[in-house]
Amino acid sequence: MVLEGLGKSLRGVLGRVGHASSVDDELINDICKDLQRALLEADVNVKLVLDVTNGVKDRAKNEPPAAGKSMKQHLTHIIYEELVKLVDNGEGLSMKPQTIMMVGLYGQGKTTSTGKLALYFSKKGFSVGLIGADVYRPAALDQLKQLGEKVNVDVYGEPGETNAAKIVEHGIAHFKDKKVVIIDTSGRHALEDDLIQEIKDIAAVAKPEERVLVLDSQVGQQAGPQAEAFHNAVGVTGVILTKMDGTAKGGGAISAMAKTKARIVFIGTGEHIRDLEPFDANRFISRLLGMGDMSALMEMASEEIGEDEAMEKVSRAIMTGKFNLNDMYYQMAAVGKMGTLQKLMSMLPGMSNYEDKIDYEASQKKLSVFRTIMDSMTAEEKEDPSLIKAKRIDRIAAGAGVSSHDVRELLKQYNTTKKTMQSFGKDRKMRKQMMKQLGGVDLDSLKDLQ
């Protein structure tokens, strides 16, 4: 999970608000101290930490709650808004035909991020071409070609050519029919004069709409000066922060971007080719605070399993509990396509409360076993699990190559999941939160989906 330590601390702050008997000046002061501690431990700039907590304190003591809101709800909302303000720095990349130039130092994840970005645009329906213009690192073009094969995107390069601008000129002509062209440029251990000149030469040829700087978030607050230096040199229009999964310095990197007004467009959240997420301040803070990110979940679902099918199946599963083993199999298959179980759970409101109780690696393996068991069932059994008694359990176990205990465990999990989904559907507060994140969808109407 992104910034797991910070998220856990912030959820602890909100938990303290929720369990308080009342909101008074003493609680507000204590909450602000806890916020300061959480943000400083995440390497957030001291001045920005004070800006956040002073904003919370001033608003909580002087701003009346909205009609129908309790003071605890008001304080929670203020904390959320002040944290969003801390990291909000503009819109992401536009989903339109364009040329994108990737820049950055060695070891920041630039080539890998180029491949991830290519996959992202491909899934949005754009034809994509990659140009390998790193003429200094011998393995760079081979790495880019491997990534291109993995995401089914064409790569142009000229092995042995030392003029990066010439390669880009030929690559742009080669990909004249592609909607999006992404250029992987050379890096250095430092921002040297020859690197600056090379990037300027490439930009003159390619005329990119976006010049995206790739930065390792583990550099923390030093990300600010690096972004500023690249911007002064080549006019950076956006930043991708890599290695945001669990790093203690990620908070420092994000706050450094806010301080320098650099625009974060994506964050890298893992080593998998799909682990690149558009950066949205509201959604980012929502997940950190355990409020989930249903819009991101639905976006992932629509890309991997079809938009209409995703909206119907995923929404019905979450909101009604009206499902059989066919639906459960579908959900498990969707989880396998969409990413790790831990990542998906972080997108569901309230599920972060269970993060310490779940062995995600073991659970991921168990999902694979369960799918194998269901492959051994008849269509009738999957449609009506109540038919599965002792003799059928033994037959299913033999067919799947597992024990009868494993089959019974699947059935137990099915019944537990069904009850959990039904409790979600009955929770008005949960429905309201999900409706908000899904953009006003009438979730009650989804209960009628069959």
pTM above 0.85, yes or no: no
Domain boundary among 239, 260, 288: 288
Q: Is 186:198 a contact under the CB 8 Å cutoff?
A: yes
Sign of CA dihedral 85, 87, 89, 90: negative
Q: Is residue 92 part of a domain?
A: no
Neighbouring CB atoms inside 10 A of 193's CB total 8
| pLDDT, tens only, 123-169 | 999 999 999 999 988 899 999 999 999 999 999 999 989 999 999 99
Residue 277 has pLDDT above 90, yes or no: no
| pLDDT, tens only, 59-108 | 999 999 888 888 998 998 899 899 988 888 778 889 999 999 999 988 89
| pLDDT, tens only, 176-217 | 999 999 999 998 887 788 888 999 999 999 999 999 999 988
Number of structural domains found in the chain: 3
| Same domain, yes or no: 307 and 374 | yes
| pLDDT, tens only, 282-314 | 888 877 776 654 455 545 555 554 544 544 555
- In whole angstroms, what is the distance from residue 257 CA to residue 225 CA? 9
Residue 323 has pLDDT above 90, yes or no: no
pLDDT (0 to 100) of residue 299: 56
pLDDT (0 to 100) of residue 14: 86
Q: In CATH, what number is assigned to the domain containing residue 44? A: 1.20.120.140
Place of tokens 């300027």: 200
DSSP state of 245: B
Q: Fill in the amino acid letter for 110.
A: K
pLDDT (0 to 100) of residue 351: 47
| Same domain, yes or no: 358 and 380 | yes
Q: In CATH, what number is assigned to the domain containing residue 437? A: 1.10.260.30
Q: Is residue 264 part of a domain?
A: yes
pLDDT (0 to 100) of residue 414: 84
Q: Which of 210, 222, 293, 208 is nearest to 254 (CA)?
A: 222
Q: In CATH, what number is assigned to the domain containing residue 246? A: 3.40.50.300
Alpha-helix residue ranges (DSSP H) falling in 23-155: 25-41, 46-62, 71-87, 110-123, 140-151
Domain boundary among 38, 63, 87: 87
Q: Is residue 332 part of a domain?
A: yes
Position 437 confidence tier, pLDDT thresholds 50, 70, 90: very low
Q: Is residue 93 part of a domain?
A: no
Domain boundary among 251, 272, 288: 288
* Residue % of the chain over a pLDDT of 90: 39
| Same domain, yes or no: 392 and 319 | yes
Position 446 confidence tier, pLDDT thresholds 50, 70, 90: very low
Q: Is 270:84 a contact under the CB 8 Å cutoff?
A: no
Q: Which of 294, 286, 353 is nearest to 318 (CA)?
A: 294
What range defines the domain where residue 153 resides? Answer: 98-288
Q: Is residue 247 part of a domain?
A: yes
Task: Tell me how far CA of residue 269 lies from CA of 51, 104, 187, 392, 402, in angstroms.
Answer: 27, 18, 22, 43, 35
| Same domain, yes or no: 176 and 321 | no
What are 245's strand-pairing partners? 2
| Same domain, yes or no: 317 and 410 | yes
| Same domain, yes or no: 309 and 275 | no
Residue 449 has pLDDT above 50, yes or no: no
| Same domain, yes or no: 165 and 128 | yes
| Same domain, yes or no: 161 and 258 | yes
Mean pLDDT, the chain, whole residue set = 81
pLDDT (0 to 100) of residue 219: 85
| Same domain, yes or no: 146 and 280 | yes
| Same domain, yes or no: 152 and 38 | no
Pairing of strands 264-268, 276-278: antiparallel
| Same domain, yes or no: 71 and 208 | no
| Same domain, yes or no: 434 and 320 | yes
| pLDDT, tens only, 386-426 | 899 999 999 999 999 999 999 999 898 888 777 766 665 55
Q: Fill in the amino acid letter for 281.
A: A
Tokens at 83, concatenated: 């944290």
Residue 170 has pLDDT above 50, yes or no: yes
